[in-house]
């Protein structure tokens, strides 16, 4: 009798273990996603150089809220001096409702060689998904805000006066999965104010190399209608980065 019980137990244990932990089992996705990338850049516009850039993005997405934070750093130098030094900080908090979400957002830029060396924009409003599918997503946002711009010092104005403006911010965020391992992202943001208007296009193409590693090409184009004398209205940054995703 004991031998029969032993045989039955030995035969049933593998089936029980297989039922509890199937071979294709994967851990459930986490609410927290992080991206870290670094690589080479080309600058045209107010700065002409090529050098290093880095970016870190954190997203905490739950059923009710979504928190996003992005830090970007750009640095370039030639044989004689630093030619580009820029830091961007973007923060957004969204509260989801049926059919859309309310958001609060802050955009902060420190740019030593830009037409404006300090840019701070705080905005809020409403957003919704105009298109949402397994391969394509388009989100639209609109809301009022406040912008602080500090122009770069010039010979005519060695101590520049900051511009403070109430704005209307509109944004379109587009994501498309082209193939299993490739994707395209494009963000278009317009800030309309009484004293100045800006239009920013941020595009990227990502190709997964293996597992969590990907190669990413990015282009950031910003047009500013009113700039200090001697500055260009359009700044362009092109990046070629290696990206790693934590999930």
pLDDT at 81: 85
Sign of CA dihedral 31, 37, 43, 48: positive
Measure the CA angle with vertex 169, ends 148 and 190; round to 5°: 95
pLDDT at 185: 97
Q: Which tens digits make up the pLDDT trace of 146-179?
A: 999 999 988 777 888 999 999 999 999 999 999 9
Average pLDDT over the chain reads 88
Least confident of 75-84, 89-98, 212-221: 75-84
- pLDDT band at 27, cuts 50/70/90? low
* Residue 198: strand pairing partners: 191, 224
- pLDDT band at 77, cuts 50/70/90? confident
Cα dihedral 175, 178, 182, 183, rounded to 10, equals -10
pLDDT at 16: 44
Cα dihedral 142, 122, 149, 50, rounded to 10, equals -80
Q: Which tens digits make up the pLDDT trace of 112-122?
A: 999 999 999 99
Q: Enumerate residues 6+ apart whose C-beta is below 8 A from 238.
A: 41, 42, 43, 217, 218, 219, 220
Q: Which of 29-38, 186-195, 225-234 has the highest mean pLDDT?
A: 186-195
Is residue 189 classed as helix, strand or coil in its secondary structure? strand
What domains can be seen in the chain, in order of their start residue?
Answer: 28-246 (2.40.128.130)
């Amino acid at each position: 009798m004991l031998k029969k019980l032993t045989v039955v137990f030995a035969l049933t244990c593998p089936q029980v273990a297989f039922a509890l932990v199937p071979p294709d089992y994967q851990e459930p996705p986490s609410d927290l996603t992080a991206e870290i990338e670094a690589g080479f850049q080309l600058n045209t516009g107010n700065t002409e150089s090529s050098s290093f850039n880095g970016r870190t993005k954190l997203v905490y997405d739950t059923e009710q809220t979504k928190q996003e934070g992005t830090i970007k750093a750009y640095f370039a130098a030639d044989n004689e001096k630093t030619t580009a030094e820029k830091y961007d900080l973007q923060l957004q908090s969204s509260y989801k409702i049926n059919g859309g979400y309310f958001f609060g957002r802050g955009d902060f830029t420190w740019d030593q060689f830009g037409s404006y060396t300090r840019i701070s924009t705080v905005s809020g409003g409403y957003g919704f998904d105009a298109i949402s599918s397994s391969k394509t997503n388009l989100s639209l946002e609109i809301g009022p805000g406040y912008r602080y711009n500090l122009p770069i010092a010039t010979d005519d104005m060695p101590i520049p006066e900051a511009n403070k403006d109430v704005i209307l911010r509109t944004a379109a965020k587009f994501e498309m999965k082209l193939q299993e391992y490739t994707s395209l992202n494009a963000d278009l943001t317009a800030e309309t104010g009484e004293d100045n208007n800006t239009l920013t296009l941020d595009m990227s193409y990502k190709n997964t190399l293996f597992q969590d590693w990907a190669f990413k090409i990015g282009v950031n184009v910003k047009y500013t209608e009113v700039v200090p004398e001697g500055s260009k209205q359009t700044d362009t940054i092109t990046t070629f980065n290696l990206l790693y995703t934590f999930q």
